[in-house]
Amino acid sequence: MDQGKWRIRKTMDHFAKITFLSATLFGIAFLGVLLYQIVVDGVGWISWDFFTNFSSRFPSKAGVAAALIGSIWIVLLTGPIAFFLGVGTALYLEEYTKKSWFTRFIQVNIHNLAGVPSIVYGILGLAVFVQGLMLGQAVLAGVFTMSLLVLPIIVVSSQEAIRSVPQQMRNASYALGASKWQTISRVVIPTALPNILTGVILALSRAIGETAPLIVVGALTFVAFVPASPMDPFTVLPIQIFNWTSRPQDDFRAIAAAGIMVLLVVLLTMNLLAVYLRNKYQKRY
């Protein structure tokens, strides 16, 4: 073989490797710079008061209390609703029907819903929950909107979790004389639960970061109280951050960075919880 040509090809390969590696590192470097910048901007504003104060016209008095509580309201109510609907749909598709045109239709529909821009869910929520059900710009309207938004993600991940329960475990249950629901509720769901919860947590962490649909539904940008019931107006962390970011004063930009730090810590905690669940219960059977 021609030695010179081989050397050129080898050099090309080496050059390509470095290029591809640089491309990969670009994304990682970006993440590094982003986190560094946010911490540098925001860390000076993190204090106990920052967590207990409401939004304010004065930078020194501004805090995330209303937004943090609002986000917690949204997650705590969206969680059970989306879990019930999502796991229910997944069980229906995986356990309760034979494959037919109808289940394929539902499946395709769910995949399409996953591709719908989140702001369109906001429009749906505005028309159906805020106006149609006359919930007004309340926590509950936000919760219903968010539940529909994360539903496709939860359905797909729950389906995978349910499918990964070995068939022989179902057989063992049926062979003991268990009915379908007994088999599902006592064998399939408990076995798939860690994986289902992982998917639900990841979906909820998406819900925590969503901004646009809640703006459309009518979450407020300036809230000086904590919502006391699901029918109260509310704001959430990303909207509060958005509000601070869009103000011209530098101080509010820095407060926005502090708000982002709070948001990222919440997201990180949820992601770690999901990874922990996944690793702890992986491959036990």
Partner 1 sequence: MNEAVLKNARNRSTGSQSQKEISRIVQKKRMNREDSIVKSILFLCAMVSVLTTIGIVAVLLVETLSFFKDVSLFSFLTDTKWTPLFKPEHFGILSLLSGSVLITLGASLVALPLGLMTAIYLSEYADDRVRRVIKPILEVLAGISTIVYGYFALTFVTPLFRMIFPDMGVFNALSASIVVGIMILPMVASLSEDAMVSVPKSLRNGAYALGATRLEVARKVVVPAAFSGIISSFVLAISRAIGETMIVTIAAGATPKLTMNPLESVQTMTAYIVQVSLGDIQHGSIEYKTIFAVGMTLFVLTFLINLIAQWLKRRFKEEY
Partner 2 sequence: MSIIQIKNVDLYYDKHHALKNITGEIKERSITALIGPSGCGKSTFLRTLNRMNDMIQGVHIEGEVLVADQNIYHEDVNVENLRKNIGMVFQQPNPFPKSIYDNIAFGTRIHGMRDRKELDEVVEQSLRAAALWEEVKDILKKPAYGLSGGQQQRLCIARALAVNPQILLMDEPTSALDPISTAKIEELIGELRKQYTIVIVTHNMQQAARISDETAFFLQGEIIEFDTTEKIFHTPSDQRTEDYIAGRFG
Q: Where are the alpha helices (H) located in the chain, listed in sequence order?
A: 3-42, 48-52, 65-91, 101-114, 118-125, 139-163, 167-175, 180-183, 189-209, 212-217, 237-245, 250-281
Q: Does 187 bind partner 2 (CB under 8 A)?
A: yes
- Give 73's DSSP letter: H
Say which entry of partner 1, partner 2, none residue 260 contacts (CB below 5 to 8 A, set by partner kind).
Answer: partner 1
Distance, in Å, from the CA atom of 278 to the CA atom of 83, rounded to the nearest integer, reads 17
Least separation, in Å, of the C-beta of 185 and partner 2? 10
Q: Does 38 bind partner 1 (CB under 8 A)?
A: yes
Q: Does 168 bind partner 2 (CB under 8 A)?
A: yes
Greatest distance between any 2 Cα atoms in the chain: 79
Least separation, in Å, of the C-beta of 89 and partner 1? 5
Least separation, in Å, of the C-beta of 74 and partner 2? 33
According to CB under 8 A, which residues from 142 to 201 bind partner 1? 148, 151-152, 155, 179-181, 184
Would you give the binding string for partner 2 spanning residues 71-100, x where CB under 8 A is met?
A: ---------------------------x--
Token representation of residue 201: 């947590």
Of these, 22, 24, 47, 182, which contacts partner 2 (CB under 8 A)?
A: 182
Least separation, in Å, of the C-beta of 183 and partner 2? 9
Residue in this structure with the two tokens 């050059």, named with its chain if needed: 15
Residue 107 CB-density burial (10 A; 0-12 exposed, 13-18 middle, 19+ buried): middle
Q: Does 102 bind partner 2 (CB under 8 A)?
A: no
The alpha carbon dihedral of 104, 106, 111, 115 has a sign of positive
Say which entry of partner 2, partner 1, none residue 89 contacts (CB below 5 to 8 A, set by partner kind).
Answer: partner 1
Distance, in Å, from the CA atom of 172 to the CA atom of 36, rounded to the nearest integer, reads 54
Q: Which stretch binds partner 2 (CB under 8 A): 7-15, 48-56, 134-142, 172-180?
A: 172-180
Say which entry of partner 1, partner 2, none residue 175 contacts (CB below 5 to 8 A, set by partner kind).
Answer: partner 2
Say which entry of partner 2, partner 1, none residue 279 contacts (CB below 5 to 8 A, set by partner kind).
Answer: none
Pick the closest to residue 44 from 225, 280, 254, 283 (CA basis).
Answer: 254
Q: Does 205 bind partner 1 (CB under 8 A)?
A: yes
Say which entry of partner 1, partner 2, none residue 231 contacts (CB below 5 to 8 A, set by partner kind).
Answer: none
The count of residues interacting with partner 2 (CB under 8 A) is 21
Q: Please give the backbone phi and psi of residue 124, each rounded to the nearest 5 degrees, phi first.
A: -60, -45
Q: At how many degrees (to 10) do helices 189-209 and 250-281 cross? A: 170
> Can you give the binding site for partner 2, defined by CB under 8 A?
98, 166, 168-179, 182, 186-187, 190-191, 284-285
